[in-house]
Amino acid sequence: MELNTLLCTLWMETIGSAGDIQKRTQHKNIALTLGRNEFRDVVLKLEFPKRDMKFALKELTIFKKFVKEGKATIKIPDRNIQFLLSNCPPDKLIMFLKTMHTKLECHKQKPPVHDRKRLLSDRPKTFEDISPLTLKDLQTVHEMRAKNVENKSDMFTPKGKGKRKRENDEKENVLPQGVKMARKLVSTSCSPFKPVLNPVKLNKGQTSVLDAIISRKNVFFTGSAGTGKSFLLRRIIGALPPQHTYATASTGVAACHIGGITLHSFAGIGSGRADLQQCVELASRPLVIQQWKKCQHLIIDEISMVEGDFFDKLETVARVVKQNDLPFGGIQLILCGDFLQLPPVTKGSDKRKFCFQAKTWPKCVQLNMELTEVKRQSDNHFINILQNVRLGRCPDIVETTLRATAKHNIQKDGILATRLCTHKEDVDQINKYQMEKLNATSKVFLSTDNDTSYAKQIDSLCPVPHKLELRVGTQVMLAKNLEVHRGLVNGARGLVTGFEKGGEGLPIVKFLSGLEEVIKPARWTFKAAGAVYLTRRQIPLKLAWAISIHKSQGMTLDCVEITVSKVFESGQAYVALSRAKSLEGLRVLDFDRGCVRANPDVLKFYHKLDLTRRMLQTNIEEYS
């Protein structure tokens, strides 16, 4: 479907002269299309099953507070009507609103066609799809905006108030309920969107995956570390209807990265070790079964850490609770992960079973796809080293190169390399030791959580702790993107240089880039089981002398120190090494080729995937 068309659930409201709602009707799966009529007006077309409605736009008000939830309100004042949109793919909704607003503003700059001329016109009635946004369109609106600011200086927001208002808006945006008209109003007199015409584009492999998912295929896509799997997942989530899409992951850390929930929270069957009847009963609890019934698209990130028997149990539960005999109850599966990274966690002597070894995997997964373009590292030599380690290979050149990194001096401006550890206990011990070396007074920041009864769940999902202890000299890492264009990004490291005087005494951090910034509290919102929204407000910092390999998944670090003597899992050394952005920023203290391991069953699976991909490519070339 093109960018000028939007599929959604729509409430149409007729507004009385006193501003009251006189009539309200709901319509599901309605297509909204932007176009132009015979007079080149911007027209909004609503496609109902038996008829179409067209509205030539003159003035427009957009309420877009919940746009990231796939919701917005479009008000057409001269027609006394408004449309409440919900269940829209968020990315598509943003682009649709941006196109509608921009095209209408550009149209206003042209001489109007008067009513008399319209009435006397013998032009045939037409409707043609609107053209895509161009740089010229955006420049026109930008110039108009600048001109309006010059002409209406009295409309400037007094210094300080704009920031406070934005903070309040963020607070209001925490718990969306139902289809509400957002209070963040956008009139057509100023641009509501940043004029970004070229967002980061998907590469060929990522585009193929997205196309397959849009065409409703059940897809497993994989790729080595740094190939943009998480980035692609966020684009996939933005392209699907939010009311019927559940983004999950096998771990809380991974779920946080994609703004989702853990797979266990969604499924509601605990560990899945109970018998089928008991699992079905657990999944049939009111709040849990509501999720299963609504779910049409299920995303599972870090699928490599999902145990095969658990996947089989989920598949059966899905068919029973959905009362649908299709694989996984007819739910579209979007699975992502790298089986050559961290494996499933098993208890005791239980034999490990990967998800691809599950009995139901072949009938549930229609397409296996692999991303091959590495984006995290740019040095081909380092990329080749990582690819060898990923496949469990350690030729002499790899061993020699990695051993040589032990001499790297990667400390800069007092900021030490972050140590990646296999065990959480080692992380806590290193961070505690380094903190106690600082001869300074501690300042403690406690988070504000909206529901303390969910404290453990919030801790598992949120990258920052409930209790954060800082001192002058503490080495920290940003846990959230704040201002990307200024380098204040997730993973940016620095030192606490002081605390603000008065107020909350917020920490001042000097980052590796040289930027010194007061770090204000940020908010995280998580969607838990049963449509419950959990929030945490905390300073977006965490201690960065050491972090665990598990917690480092998805991160890119400029300076990394690794000890591999305690590596106990296949793929663990690869995960740790691949966090480094460059070979120059890596120091391996005790490299031994014995730590480079890949599971034989996983290697066979990937060999088969590669063989299938090559055969398919050969067939395409032969018949093209």
CA dihedral angle for residue 345, residue 346, residue 348, residue 349, rounded to 10 degrees: -130
Amino acid identity, position 275: D
The neighbour count for residue 230, using CB atoms within 10 Å, is 16
527 is in an annotated binding site: no
Do 546 and 431 contact (CB within 8 A), yes or no?
Answer: yes
224 is in an annotated binding site: yes
308 is in an annotated binding site: no
Backbone angles phi, psi at 580, to 5 degrees: -70, 135
Q: How many CA atoms lie within 13 A of 238 on its CB side?
A: 15
228 is in an annotated binding site: yes
Closest residue by Cα to residue 267 from 279, 257, 277: 279
Beta bridge pairs of residue 483:
488
Do 7 and 30 contact (CB within 8 A), yes or no?
Answer: yes
Q: How many CA atoms lie within 13 A of 45 on its CB side?
A: 18
What is the dihedral sign for C-alpha 361, 366, 372, 376? Answer: negative
Do 339 and 605 contact (CB within 8 A), yes or no?
Answer: yes
**Residue by residue, what is the 3-state secondary structure of 319-366?**
HHHHCCCCHHHHCEEEEECCCCCCCCCCCCCCCCCCHHHCCCHHHHCC
User: CB burial class (10 A; 0-12, 13-18, 19+) of residue 611?
Assistant: exposed
Cα–Cα distance measured from residue 97 to residue 105, given in angstroms and rounded to the nearest whole number = 12
The neighbour count for residue 98, using CB atoms within 10 Å, is 24
Query: Which structure tokens are listed for 180?
Result: 């509400």
What is the dihedral sign for C-alpha 157, 166, 81, 54? Answer: positive
19 is in an annotated binding site: no
Element (H, E) at 399: helix 396-404
Q: How many CA atoms lie within 13 A of 598 on its CB side?
A: 23
All residues at 6 or more sequence positions from 486 whose CB lies less than 8 Å from its CB, including other chains: 515
Cα–Cα distance measured from residue 393 to residue 232, given in angstroms and rounded to the nearest whole number = 28
CB crowding 519-546: b at 16 or more within 10 Å, else e: bebbbbbbbbbeebebbbbbbbbbbbbb
624 is in an annotated binding site: no
Secondary structure (DSSP) of 543-604: E-SEEETTTTTT--BSSEEE--TT--STTHHHHHHTTBS-STTEEESS--GGG----HHHHH
441 is in an annotated binding site: no
346 is in an annotated binding site: no
List residues forming the annotated binding site for ATP: 223-230
Query: Residues annotated in the binding site, as ranges?
Result: 223-230
